[in-house]
């Protein structure tokens, strides 16, 4: 299936973007050499992108992956063995690199000169593409024969710079003579007597626009193997990469460009530069520069695009999920047989764990557990130098974490686990095993210095919501992967408080005083009835950095991915948003509502509900809904720092004003819990998804910062009725609820409103 997936039609414009990226840097006067690295995790399409570049420019690739590797394309054994030989000294390594390049250029010149198709630059591209391709047996045999001769001749080359320059000059002159219309290279002016381009040759059909400045591209795939340090004790240490780069610097005036591609952390040694690879220290001192790595190969290239609504059963299917994210899973799924398709989630689990599946979950490493958690939770690393961030680099190398940005060693790197539905399902498969124990696994991560904890306990709340969803997913549903909103709420809340679901809400002629029952069923609306046909698809969280990209359309797009939204800290009043389909089977932007969630880890938000937080959770005021949308939503508050756990069902009143605010017209169930250091203090009486034996080990702080070991035993959920003109309180830390809008526009939160309260008031203290 892997080999067949390689032949799938390429999707995206990454090859063109890659060449344009090179053009922006290639003429820099302070460039050390004409090379760059291509870095990112497995399955993002690095090798395939470079293969497609071979259709745009003359390209020769070398694959030097390990002998034990089962990756595709397979290794070029002769080239790999050539660079596996341990040289006797640094100078010997340098000479071997010079000899290899010299032999390569000579053999390329001979091969192209004899090729009948190489009568113009298009012909050169075609001839080299046939040499480099691994698609068909005859091409693979030709590739092996060519590299065998290159390596054999390299052993007979003295490895002198004079020979290298002569070979590079002859090859470039030959390519220019075929009608190449790129700008003259610096070498033409430096050496003179260059062959003039033959303008009478056929046009290249737009394959290589004039602005591109690369005549020949070399690429080393799995290039981290070249960074292995050599040298005995008390001797200068060196690597083949360092010596190869020194050789490339000597031919920097030619239109020859080299690419080093890798997934592993060792590639970061390409940039910044180690002192061993830069004895003159010109790179380290900033006198010369290397080109920043290219890391963006694209995402969602195989996504199915729907112009209208989609059936929710289609959105929740595996066939839809595999088309989102990196191309690895889509190409494998499309090329595979029924067995491959049935096992695609298990394959995703294997890639995530960097191991086999099924596995002994009890003995998973901390890195493997982090990979599973971060595929569903937005867990990030604390910024620090790359040299101190080996765990983060390992996540990119072995566990499919995506590299977003690279800096120098002092600034470190920026990584993220993006929204990939198939990986979320793979992580869910692993986390479903009772031995995984998600709460304990999460606290092990939060107790680590490198993992960013979040400012208000968002990771804790996010995990509890995922656990509730997994629990609800096990219940009978109309279709696989579809969960009823009411089932989700029942899975989230403890059994003693699930009577909130049949509670009634609406409007009454007058607001009753506190703790009185309102029994008029005429105006009442049953919560369970309202959401009886509401369904949701939620497997993981996706971080959103800007409030501007949260609307009903974006909620629909997120639901299609099975993603809930983790809001940025700048988003006023909401930490999490879970989209759901209000009714029916066809999902479209206009049919999407939301569960809005706020998390508090502040002792000032105790057992008594802060109604102003709910008031600030106005979806119209926040721009989530348009002003004319009257859509019921669900709002939930996690209060993780309350001193006393308790449950309350409203109505609630503003203690400062002694009047009912418009938000207090809602029935509110509040569960607040204490912030304790022992996770075993969490109880099923407060959160249904917390099992009595799921957390037993105390969390001890290993850093100077305050340990975020708060018990995840606090939730406040409410149902409200209000119209589009409802004004939200100007509190930045607002929260979320369920609200169809009321019939008249309220003035402000301190005005009196007509209300309908729940049929009962329940108060219970937990030991």
pLDDT (tens digit, 9 = 90+) per residue, 390-416?
888 899 999 999 999 886 554 578 899
Element counts in the chain: helices (H) and strands (E): 24, 21
Domain count, the chain: 3
Residue 316 domain-assigned?
Answer: yes
CA distances from 571 to 148, 624, 625 (A): 59, 11, 15
Same domain, 358 and 268: no
Last residue of a domain, one of 246, 277, 308: 277
Q: How far apart are CA 84 and CA 310, in angstroms?
A: 53
Domain boundary among 414, 436, 458: 436
Same domain for 127 and 31: yes
Which one, of 408, 416, 410, lies nearest residue 381 by Cα? 416
Strand 256-262 relative to strand 216-221, pairing: parallel
pLDDT for 643 equals 75
Within a domain: residue 122?
yes
| Domain contains 626 | yes
Q: Could you give the CA distance from residue 487 to residue 501 in angstroms, rounded to a whole number?
A: 10
What is the tens place of the pLDDT at every residue in 527-570? 778 888 999 999 999 999 888 889 999 999 999 999 999 998 87
Asked if residue 213 belongs to a domain, the reply is yes
If asked whether residues 47 and 128 sit together in one domain, one would say yes
- Answer left, alpha or beta for residue 215, where phi above 0 means left and psi between -120 and 50 means alpha: alpha
Mode of pairing for the β-strands spanning 58-63 and 216-221:
parallel
Judge if 698 and 557 occupy the same domain. yes
Q: Looking at the structure, tell me whether residues 195 and 338 fall in a common domain.
A: no
| Residue with token string 């380290």 | 284
Element (DSSP H or E) covering residue 373: helix 366-374
pLDDT tens digits, residue range 17-49? 999 999 988 877 788 899 999 999 999 999 999
Q: What is the pLDDT of residue 290?
A: 84
Q: Which of 242-251, 271-280, 466-475 has the lowest mean pLDDT?
A: 271-280
Could you give the CA distance from residue 154 to residue 104 in angstroms, rounded to a whole number? 8
Indicate if 398 and 254 belong to the same structural domain. Answer: no
Chain centroid to CA 497: 37
Residue 327's DSSP bridge partners are none
Q: For residue 172, tell me if it sits in a domain.
A: yes
* Domain encompassing residue 152: 14-277
Q: Are residues 652 and 518 in the same domain?
A: yes
Residue bearing tokens 């002694």: 658
Helix, strand or coil for residue 555?
helix
Q: Is residue 557 part of a domain?
A: yes
**Domain's final residue, options 436, 460, 490:** 436
* Residue spans of beta strands (DSSP E) within 450-520: 483-484, 504-506
Q: Would you say residue 707 lies in a domain?
A: yes
Q: Are residues 398 and 484 in the same domain?
A: no
What is the pLDDT, as a whole number, of residue 503? Answer: 60
| 75 and 205 assigned to the same domain | yes
Where is 542: in which H helix or E strand? Answer: strand 540-544
Q: What is the 3-state secondary structure (H, E, C) of 201-266?
A: CCCCCCCCCCCCCCCEEEEEECHHHHHCCECCCCCCCECHHHHHHHHHHHCCCCCEEEEEEECCHH
For residue 155 the two structure tokens come to 């052993």
Q: Which residues contact 163 (CB under 8 A, 6 or more apart)?
A: 98, 102, 157
Q: Which residue has the higher pLDDT, 204 or 502?
A: 502
Confirm whether 290 is domain-assigned: no
Same domain, 271 and 310: no
Rounded to two decimals, the pTM is: 0.81
Do 557 and 604 reside in the same domain of the chain?
yes
| Closest to 225 measured CA to CA, from 90, 374, 415, 76 | 76
Q: What pLDDT sits at residue 340?
A: 96
Q: Are residues 311 and 262 in the same domain?
A: no
pLDDT of residue 388: 61
């Amino acid at each position: 299936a892997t080999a067949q997936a390689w032949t799938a039609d390429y999707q995206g414009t990454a090859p063109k973007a890659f060449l344009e990226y090179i053009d922006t840097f290639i003429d820099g006067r302070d460039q050390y050499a004409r090379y760059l690295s291509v870095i990112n995790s497995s399955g993002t399409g690095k090798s395939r992108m470079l293969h497609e570049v071979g259709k745009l420019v003359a390209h020769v690739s070398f694959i030097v992956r390990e002998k034990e590797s089962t990756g595709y394309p397979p290794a070029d054994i002769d080239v790999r063995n050539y660079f596996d030989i341990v040289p006797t000294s640094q100078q010997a390594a340098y000479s071997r690199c010079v000899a290899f390049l010299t032999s390569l250029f000579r053999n390329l010149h001979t091969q192209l000169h004899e090729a009948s198709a190489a009568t113009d630059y298009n012909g050169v591209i075609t001839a080299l593409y046939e040499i480099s391709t691994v698609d068909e047996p005859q091409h693979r045999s030709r590739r092996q024969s060519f590299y065998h001769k290159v390596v054999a001749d390299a052993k007979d080359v003295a490895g002198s710079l004079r020979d290298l320059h002569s070979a590079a000059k002859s090859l470039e002159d030959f390519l220019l003579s075929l009608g190449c219309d790129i700008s003259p290279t610096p070498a033409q002016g430096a050496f003179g007597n260059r062959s003039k381009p033959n303008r009478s040759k056929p046009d290249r059909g737009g394959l290589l626009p004039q602005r591109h400045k690369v005549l020949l591209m070399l690429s080393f795939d799995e290039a981290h193997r070249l960074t292995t340090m050599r040298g005995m004790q008390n001797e200068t240490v060196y690597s083949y990469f360092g010596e190869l780069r020194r050789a490339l610097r000597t031919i920097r005036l030619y239109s020859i460009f080299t690419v080093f591609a890798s997934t592993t952390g060792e590639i970061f040694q390409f940039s910044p530069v180690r002192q061993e690879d830069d004895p003159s220290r010109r790179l380290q001192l900033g006198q010369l520069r290397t080109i920043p790595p290219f890391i963006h190969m694209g995402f969602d290239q195989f996504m199915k695009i729907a112009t209208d609504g989609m059936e929710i059963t289609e959105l929740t299917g595996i066939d839809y999920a595999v088309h989102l994210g990196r191309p690895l899973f889509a190409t494998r799924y499309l090329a595979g047989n029924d067995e491959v398709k049935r096992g695609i989630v298990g394959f995703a689990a294997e890639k995530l764990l960097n191991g086999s599946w099924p596995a002994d979950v009890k003995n998973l490493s901390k890195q493997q557990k982090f990979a599973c958690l971060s595929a569903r939770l937005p867990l990030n690393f604390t910024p620090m130098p790359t040299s101190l961030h080996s765990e983060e680099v390992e996540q990119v190398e072995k566990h499919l974490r995506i590299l977003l940005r690279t800096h120098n060693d002092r600034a470190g790197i920026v990584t993220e686990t993006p929204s990939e539905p198939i990986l979320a399902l793979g992580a869910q498969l692993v986390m479903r095993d009772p031995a995984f124990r998600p709460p304990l696994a999460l606290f092990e991560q939060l107790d680590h210095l490198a993992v960013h904890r979040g400012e208000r306990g968002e990771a804790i709340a996010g995990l509890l919501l995922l656990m509730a969803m997994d629990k609800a997913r096990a219940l009978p549903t109309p279709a696989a992967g579809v969960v009823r909103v009411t089932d989700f709420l029942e899975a989230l809340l403890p059994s003693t408080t699930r009577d909130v679901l049949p509670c009634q809400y609406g409007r009454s002629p007058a607001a009753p005083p506190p703790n009185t029952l309102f029994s008029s069923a005429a105006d009442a609306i049953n919560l369970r009835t309202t959401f009886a046909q509401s369904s949701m698809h939620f497997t993981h969280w996706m971080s959103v950095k800007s409030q501007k990209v949260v609307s009903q359309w974006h909620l629909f797009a997120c639901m299609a991915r099975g993603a809930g939204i983790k809001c940025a800290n700048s988003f006023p009043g909401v930490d999490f948003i879970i989209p759901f389909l209000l009714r029916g089977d066809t999902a479209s932007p206009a049919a999407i509502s939301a569960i809005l969630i706020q998390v508090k880890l502040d002792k000032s938000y105790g057992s008594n509900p802060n109604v102003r937080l709910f008031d600030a959770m106005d979806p119209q005021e926040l721009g989530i809904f348009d002003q004319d949308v009257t859509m019921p939503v669900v709002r939930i508050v996690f209060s993780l720092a309350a001193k006393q756990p308790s449950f309350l069902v409203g109505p609630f009143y503003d203690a400062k004003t002694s009047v009912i605010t418009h938000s207090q017209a809602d029935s509110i169930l509040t569960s607040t819990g204490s912030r304790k250091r022992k996770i075993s203090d969490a109880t099923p009486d407060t959160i249904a998804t917390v099992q009595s034996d799921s957390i037993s080990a105390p969390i001890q702080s290993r850093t100077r910062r305050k340990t975020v070991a708060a018990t995840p035993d606090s939730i406040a959920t409410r149902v409200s009725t209000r119209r589009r003109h409802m004004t939200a309180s100007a509190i930045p830390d607002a929260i979320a609820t369920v609200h169809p809008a009321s019939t008249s526009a309220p003035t402000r939160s301190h005005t009196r409103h007509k209300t309908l309260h729940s049929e009962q008031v329940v108060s219970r203290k937990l030991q």
